[in-house]
Amino acid sequence: MPLNAKLFSAFYGRARAFRAALRLAPLALALLSWSQPLAAATSDFKVYESLKILARVFYEVNSRFVEEPDNATLVHGAVRGMLSSLDPHSSFFTADEMVELRQETSGAFSGVGVEITMKENVITVVSPIEDTPAFRAGIHSGDQIVSIDGKPAIDMNLMEAVKFIRGPVGSSVTFTIARPGVREPFEITVVRAKIPLISVRTQEMGSGIGYIHIRNFQGGTTAELEKAVKELAAKKSLDGIILDLRNDPGGLLDQSVAVSGLFLGRVPVVETRGRREDQDVIYKSEKGAIVPLGAPMVVLVNEGSASASEIVAGALQDYGRALIVGTRTFGKGSVQSIVPLPDGSGMRLTTARFYTPTGRSIQIEGIVPDVLVRNPLPPDYQAPREEDLEGHLRGADEAPGAKSPTPAPAPEEEADPEPYVPPDKHFSQMTPDERLAADKQLATAFNLLKNGEVTNVFTGEPKEPAAPLAQRDDLPEEG
């Protein structure tokens, strides 16, 4: 889920081909040249000593391995291992994978439409994308992928799994799925299709209430949302808005800031803080509000709401612009920067944490709803959150090396008061009344708005306690 829009723009440039040095002397010189600015910056020659180990291993493999190795493969493997040791969201991309990454954020791709992550070294489904082959085939959030077309997934990393999952339109891929609560693994075959990256869907719910669902935050999300809101407003006056961010895995930082501005106006939305000064940035929306600021709002979130969607929910909550309904969010409060490398490959590196307008870090904790409502779920259903991911970044208030505690669930989240009944058709095919009957969280949001129980206290300033962002002297002026 890349967030740093400035560094991401550099990803589009073509780099010249990379040619690695094959012998120890040139390699040692290269490593020395890399280590010098690091050593100067840290005043610690342990960095150089560590790089000497890497150079020695590279030399030994190059000169003594039973077959002549491919040096690019060695370098890529070393970089991949280095990044994967940091946290679950830092990773290496080959040149082909960089192209796929660009497609994910700006166009379309051929696949099944499923968001995956690594949980306890197992490829695990975060959520199927609504109205895609994976969704229609019955793949669920929390499903563990045991194999892909008969290839064991236990030793795959995320990008390798994506490579096997994607393929030509019309071709099929068979998953072996282990599902919590189901005794034996089972197979699901899905036919690949063109997955259009349409991120915004709307529906009139009645009583002057408009429903807006943002599936992810990609390059055109803000423009899509502007168009959708104008179309809703043209049909009927908007007396209330339901913004659905459930199962939204996030995306681009700049889009989350701009989307927030459509509901808040030109205000500070999020702050990033890292180890370097240039990573400490306050992002203020440059978009004016297009939704009447007096119209009450409810935002729906759940455990699949992550990253950019948490930025939007947190900002709307902090300013008192919307009531948050649902369950605690995923808790991914970190920023990833995409850094292109000379051979066309690249890396995604976690470079900062982000904070809501009142200075809250949501790493691990997530966004806690104002009104806790849990939809009935299948028995033994478990969806991963950030604290479940191996090697996750600690929360902002934890001591280095401390293990992040799992936030205690609210009483309303501990058990389902109603039995789970799977819907007989896709939500997109339901009438508003059918959706309200099948979706407890949506029905709660609708009834709160319809009955006038949502108080909009938005004044242009975050709610108490006072926000460090809003009081900073270096905020950009409104244009």
Q: Write out the catalytic residue numbers.
A: 307, 318, 332
Tell me whether the omega of the peptide bond preceding residue 128 falls within 30 degrees of 0, making it cis: no
Of the candidates 38, 88, 49, the residue with the CA atom closest to the CA atom of residue 333: 88
- Residue 49: both structure tokens together: 């000593």
Burial class (CB within 10 angstroms; exposed 0-12, middle 13-18, buried 19+) of 45: exposed
The set of long-range contacts for 149-155, using a CB threshold of 8 Å and a minimum separation of 24, is 149/173, 149/174, 150/174, 153/122, 153/123, 154/121, 154/122
- Can you give the three-state secondary structure of the chain, one letter per residue? CCCCHHHHHHHHCCCCCCCCCCCHHHHHHHHHHHHHHHHHHHCCCHHHHHHHHHHHHHHHHHHHCCCCCCHHHHHHHHHHHHHHCCCCCCEEECHHHHHHHHHHHHCEEEECCEEEEEECCEEEEEEECCCCHHHHHCCCCCCEEEEECCEECCCCCHHHHHHHHCCCCCCEEEEEEECCCCCCCEEEEEECEEEECCCEEEEEEECCEEEEEECCECCCHHHHHHHHHHHHHHHCCCCEEEEECCCCCCECHHHHHHHHHHHHCCCEEEEEEECCHHHCEEEECCCCCCCCCCCCEEEEECCCCCCHHHHHHHHHHHCCCCEEEECCCCCCCEEEEEEECCCCCEEEEEEEEEECCCCCECCCCCCCCCEECCCCCCCCCCCCCHHHCCCCCCCCCCCCCCCCCCCCCCHHHHCCCCCCCCCCCCHHHCCHHHHHHHCHHHHHHHHHHHCCCCCCCCCCCCCCCCCHHHHCCCCCCCC
Strand-pairing partners, residue 282, are 271
**Alpha-carbon Rg for the chain in angstroms:** 23
Query: For residue 384, what are its two tokens?
Result: 């991963």
Which residue is listed with tokens 């990008």?
159
> Length of the chain in residues, anyone?
479
Could you give phi then psi for residue 73, rounded to 5 degrees? -65, -40
Residue type, position 320, single letter: G
